[in-house]
Chain A
Amino acid sequence: MDALIGWVALAVAVLMAALILAYSLTRRATWPTFRHMPPFDALAVDLGRSVEAGTRLHVALGSGSLTSNDSAASLIGLATLSQIATAGSVSDKPPLATSGDGAVALLAQDVLRVAFRQQRAEDRYDPLLGRVTGVGAQGYAAGAMHTAPDEDVTATIVLGAVGPEAALIAESGARRGTVIGGTLDVQGQTALYVTADHPLIGEELFASGAYLHVNRAHAASLQAQDILRWLVIASIVGLAVVRTLGLL
């Protein structure tokens, strides 16, 4: 077990070094170029359409909490929400964020409030734009699936800690407009693959901050992940070759 902790510590140290390096490089250079990802193009289109048509965007942050394993998904969802809210706060119907956890809902309210303040539209801010639709996975899905018809939603963005129940939210949202979905849960990904118009597969969810230009740390983080990903691939291939040759 000590060896395992040692390997974990090494991995964390390498990732931290890569992150710091990428962050320092990114701060001096221009914004890095990433490969084309249609879901984020669709998100920009939906956002513009929402502002133009005066309809609402629904950002489903999932039922995960900040203390659970999938808290990273919730944080990514909040970062995405900040960009969406900044652009969509000028819409007749500002974006609506739903969550199944009280702390995440509080953070969503804070993100929305800051976005409205940045757009000089604080008078239009409503705290209940960040709301809890139900506690627990099923309770959250049951409440969130009624958000699209009740709130005149034309685009549903499922980004956060959500399981297979995401299919219910996505299916409900698809009847009103487009659906973009991404989660860390593998079962949730399969559900979103068949129900969402633009699913985010695997860890593509972590790229949303960089693609939406949240801040340079997100771009640096994505570059650091790429570095580590190549290291992991090289390690897997190398170990497989060594094991096949009987050297280990």
Chain B
Amino acid sequence: MADVRCPMCGKPNAEEAETCLYCQARLKPVGPGAAPGGDAEPVAAGGEPAPDWLSRLRDQGSPMPGGTRELSGEPESPTDKEASDWLSRIRTRADDESPSPSGATSPAEDVFGRGKPAEPSGPSPAFAPSAGEGVPASAATPLAEPASEEDEPEWLKRLRARRAVEGTPGAAPAPSFPAPQATGEGLPPDWMHAPHEDLATGPTAAASPQPAGSEGGMPSWLSDVQPPAPRPTPVENVPPAAPATPAAFASEDDELRGAYSEKEIPDWLVSAREEAAAPVAGLAGGPEAPTETPPLEELLAPGVLPEWLTAGSSPTPPPMEALGAGLEQAVLPPWLRAMRPVEGPLAPKGEAGEAEERVESAGPLAGLRGVLPPKVEAEVGRHPPVLPSVLDIQPAHAAHAELLQRIISTPESRAVPRARRRPQARPWGGLVVLVILVAAMIVPGLTGTSVFARPSVVAVETLQTANLINSLPLDRPLLLAVDYDAAASAELEAAALAVLDHVMTIGAPIASVSTRPVGPALAERLMARTRAAHPQYQAGINYLPLGYLPAGPIGLRAFAANPWQAVYAQSAPESWDAGLVAALHASSNFSAILVVASDPAVLQTWIEQVHTAVPSVPLVAIVSAAAEPLARPYYESAFPSVQGMVVGLAGAEAYECLNALDPASGRCGRPGVADSMWDPFGMAVLGAVLILLVGGLASVIRRGVISMRRTSHE
């Protein structure tokens, strides 16, 4: 779907949008059959129901040649009042004076740059009929109602009286006002272009291209006030090609011609007419007929011109030569002269006329034709015309332009602030650290030495955990929460295995659950590693794998309410211990909760969601060393939520020692997983300490060197 650009804000809108989505400006003209794109069909062809007033106009004017309403004798419609009477009379008389052949160039169009033939292509304003349907209602008004004496302005009355006294040819019958033969929809309303177009052209509306060098871009009002051209207007000699003016028109024209003689016309009007007629002469090539132009002094005599036209103007304006005396001609600087186009920026043929005939498509003027001058139209946002000009470009300028083009088109050369990148870590830096750590861990295993002292003191929380496990009831399951990732299994499995070994030694049943997707597999791995020492723990007998508990805290809250329903919610396998399964219908039936977590937030969740629901069930935490600072407050609180803790590898080593403690000698008997990791762990930590120490020293040395350099520089 093609977008329609808003003429007010320039933003794209959907084609069918009535108003702009962004500025609410009207996108489509008010008139029927009008389209913003300017290519609307004529109203009649479009099949759109015409408004009442337009239907009446069609009924009244269509059968008449030329479409003028005065032919049918219909009374003037209220719309016709829009045209002022004096203007209508001027239009009528001018039309009579300068009939041009049909199909020839319309002088007024030449003057105002309207060379485009009238076509039913533009949007049709509300009052503009389509081609072939007659003239606009407003255009018919001055024809239907000849000017009456009462309606004349005062200055015209005085002028007429003066003519009558002087006996100038003013008693001829007023000329008829020939209606335009073809009124395209793109034409502006007649009250806009009547003073220029109708004055000179007469019945033709067919436009001709504007000759080069004419006033194509000049607005009408400016053309009107231009001084009269020296050459006479040859309009009388141009043979009319349009349909002959009816006799009724001719009589009326004669009357008007008599009422307003040539000498009564103000000079601005005469100049407009002459300007309009001049191209016609050029095209027709006929002999130039002299035009009776009253002298300027006569026209500027007091009382002839209206007050608004004479106000502020000097009765005897100084000649232009006198004004320009003493002024030097401006000299353009070389660089500006170099930029001047060799050929003038000519508007394409018909451009100005197109602008004049443009129908406003938005805003309060929507539907009106040619109400804005071409300049205004250009400001609305139309694409400027392609000027057929050739620039005289100096080589230096061309080189600069090429350089600019290259700068713009090359992204790398744009002046963009670059992101500060941290200097790449030297590859050997990480490699050295890795080698040190790996070597430290491998050496004890290769040499088989055990040089690191085991923990001499067992932490209180570890002892409390062992005591709690010793006191577990054997008729209720212990809940094992395997809530750590595989990444933390190396540290936590050692502690979990030590505690589970203790639990299995006393024979307490176990149920496992996890809020992590890999948790069930890790739980099974734990059970599998203890099964060699405790083969009685099989799934469904002393051990119930409850699987994965989704949704984190929400799942745990549901689990606290009814564990069985939260994780299983179906009948248990027949091989499972019915008593154990029955105990899982309430979280209070657990003998203890053993949470193995690498993340303190997970422990916090278990405390908040489960332990608060069953505070009577003790909770033991097996956490990593990194999680200790955040887990310890729950243990050390005045109302502890955690009744026992085993922290990291040190806690696992201590618990293993407790499990295999020889009471007689006071030594640790059977070594466990934590004991096998103790020496590599110790070596790796020492390696890390060494790296930090070296790094710290290097930093201090670097700072010292830098300060010394500064001192030496100073």
Tell me how far the C-beta of B707 lies from the nearest C-beta in chain A, rounded to whole angstroms.
24
Contacts A54-B411, A135-B517, A136-B485; A174 near B422 (Cβ below 8 A): yes
* CB-based contact A175/B599 at 8 Å: no
* CB-based contact A69/B419 at 8 Å: no
Specify the chain A residue showing the minimal Cβ separation from B411: A54
Chain A 184-195 near chain B by CB (<8 Å), digits 1 or 0: 011100000000
Q: Which of A148-206 contact B (CB under 8 A)?
A: 154-155, 163-164, 174-178, 185-187, 197
In the complex, what residues of A have CB within 8 A of residue B629's CB? 186
In the complex, what residues of B have CB within 8 A of residue A187's CB? 599-600, 626-627
Specify the chain B residue showing the minimal Cβ separation from A65: B552
Residue A53 CB within 8 A of the other chain: yes
Residue B421 CB within 8 A of the other chain: yes
* CB-based contact A178/B599 at 8 Å: no
Q: Which of B231-269 contact A (CB under 8 A)?
A: none
Tell me how far the C-beta of B677 lies from the nearest C-beta in chain A, rounded to whole angstroms.
20
In the complex, what residues of A have CB within 8 A of residue B414's CB? 52-53
In the complex, what residues of B have CB within 8 A of residue A55's CB? 419
Residue B83 CB within 8 A of the other chain: no
Bound Cα distance from A67 to B425, whole angstroms: 38
* CB-based contact B421/A53 at 8 Å: no
In the complex, what residues of B have CB within 8 A of residue A49's CB? 416-419
* CB-based contact B420/A177 at 8 Å: yes
* CB-based contact B485/A137 at 8 Å: yes
Residue B424 CB within 8 A of the other chain: yes
* CB-based contact B551/A69 at 8 Å: no
* CB-based contact B601/A136 at 8 Å: no
* CB-based contact B419/A154 at 8 Å: yes
Q: Is the interface of B mostly helix, strand, loop or mixed?
A: loop
Residue B404 CB within 8 A of the other chain: no
* CB-based contact B615/A1 at 8 Å: yes
* CB-based contact A136/B518 at 8 Å: yes
Chain B 554-582 near chain A by CB (<8 Å), digits 1 or 0: 10000000000000000000000000000
Tell me how far the C-beta of A240 lies from the nearest C-beta in chain B, rounded to whole angstroms.
14
* CB-based contact B552/A69 at 8 Å: yes
In the complex, what residues of A have CB within 8 A of residue B601's CB? 68-70, 185
In the complex, what residues of B have CB within 8 A of residue A225's CB? none
Contacts A136-B517, A185-B601; A53 near B416 (Cβ below 8 A): yes
* CB-based contact B553/A67 at 8 Å: yes
In the complex, what residues of A have CB within 8 A of residue B416's CB? 49, 52-54
Chain B 509-528 near chain A by CB (<8 Å), digits 1 or 0: 00000001110000000000
In the complex, what residues of B have CB within 8 A of residue A69's CB? 552-553, 601, 604-605
In the complex, what residues of A have CB within 8 A of residue B424's CB? 175
Contacts A65-B552, A68-B553, A70-B601; A136 near B419 (Cβ below 8 A): no
Residue A26 CB within 8 A of the other chain: no
Specify the chain B residue showing the minimal Cβ separation from A137: B485
Residue B505 CB within 8 A of the other chain: no
Residue A138 CB within 8 A of the other chain: yes
Tell me how far the C-beta of A56 lies from the nearest C-beta in chain B, rounded to whole angstroms.
11
Of the residues A53, A138, A186, contact of B419 by C-beta under 8 Å:
A53
* CB-based contact B552/A53 at 8 Å: no
Bound Cα distance from A70 to B416, whole angstroms: 38
Tell me how far the C-beta of A45 lies from the nearest C-beta in chain B, rounded to whole angstroms.
8
Tell me how far the C-beta of A176 lies from the nearest C-beta in chain B, rounded to whole angstroms.
7
Residue B310 CB within 8 A of the other chain: no
Residue B386 CB within 8 A of the other chain: no
Tell me how far the C-beta of B1 lies from the nearest C-beta in chain A, rounded to whole angstroms.
14
Tell me how far the C-beta of B566 lies from the nearest C-beta in chain A, rounded to whole angstroms.
14
Bound Cα distance from A137 to B422, whole angstroms: 26
Bound Cα distance from A174 to B424, whole angstroms: 9
Tell me how far the C-beta of A6 lies from the nearest C-beta in chain B, rounded to whole angstroms.
13
Bound Cα distance from A88 to B639, whole angstroms: 50
* CB-based contact B552/A138 at 8 Å: no
In the complex, what residues of A have CB within 8 A of residue B485's CB? 136-138
In the complex, what residues of B have CB within 8 A of residue A186's CB? 600, 629-630
Specify the chain B residue showing the minimal Cβ separation from A3: B639
Q: Which of B578-631 contact A (CB under 8 A)?
A: 599-601, 604-605, 612, 615, 626-627, 629-630
* CB-based contact A176/B553 at 8 Å: no
Of the residues A54, A67, A137, contact of B551 by C-beta under 8 Å:
A67
Q: Which of B384-411 contact A (CB under 8 A)?
A: 411
* CB-based contact B419/A177 at 8 Å: yes
Bound Cα distance from A135 to B486, whole angstroms: 13
Tell me how far the C-beta of A27 lies from the nearest C-beta in chain B, rounded to whole angstroms.
27
Residue B323 CB within 8 A of the other chain: no
Chain A 56-86 near chain B by CB (<8 Å), digits 1 or 0: 0000000001011110000000000000000
* CB-based contact A177/B421 at 8 Å: yes
Contacts A136-B518, A175-B424, A187-B626; A53 near B551 (Cβ below 8 A): no
* CB-based contact A136/B626 at 8 Å: no
Specify the chain B residue showing the minimal Cβ separation from A195: B422
Tell me how far the C-beta of B338 lies from the nearest C-beta in chain A, rounded to whole angstroms.
35
* CB-based contact A52/B419 at 8 Å: no
Tell me how far the C-beta of B201 lies from the nearest C-beta in chain A, rounded to whole angstroms.
48
Residue B446 CB within 8 A of the other chain: no
* CB-based contact A163/B599 at 8 Å: yes
Chain A 113-153 near chain B by CB (<8 Å), digits 1 or 0: 00000000000000000000001111000000000000000
Bound Cα distance from A145 to B553, whole angstroms: 28
Tell me how far the C-beta of B7 lies from the nearest C-beta in chain A, rounded to whole angstroms.
19
In the complex, what residues of A have CB within 8 A of residue B518's CB? 136
In the complex, what residues of B have CB within 8 A of residue A138's CB? 485-487
Question: What are 11 pairs between A and B in contact, CB < 8 Å?
Answer: A4-B639, A53-B414, A54-B411, A67-B551, A67-B552, A69-B553, A69-B601, A136-B517, A163-B599, A175-B422, A197-B422
A-side residues, CB < 8 A to B, are: 1, 4, 46, 48-49, 52-55, 65, 67-70, 135-138, 154-155, 163-164, 174-178, 185-187, 197
Q: A68-B605, A175-B425, A177-B421 are in contact. List 20 more A-B contacts (CB 8 A).
A: A1-B612, A46-B419, A48-B417, A49-B417, A53-B419, A67-B552, A68-B552, A68-B553, A68-B601, A69-B601, A69-B605, A136-B516, A164-B626, A174-B422, A175-B424, A176-B419, A186-B600, A186-B630, A187-B600, A187-B626
Question: When A and B form their complex, which 3 residue pairs have the shortest distance between CB atoms, in order from nearest?
Answer: A177-B419, A154-B419, A53-B416
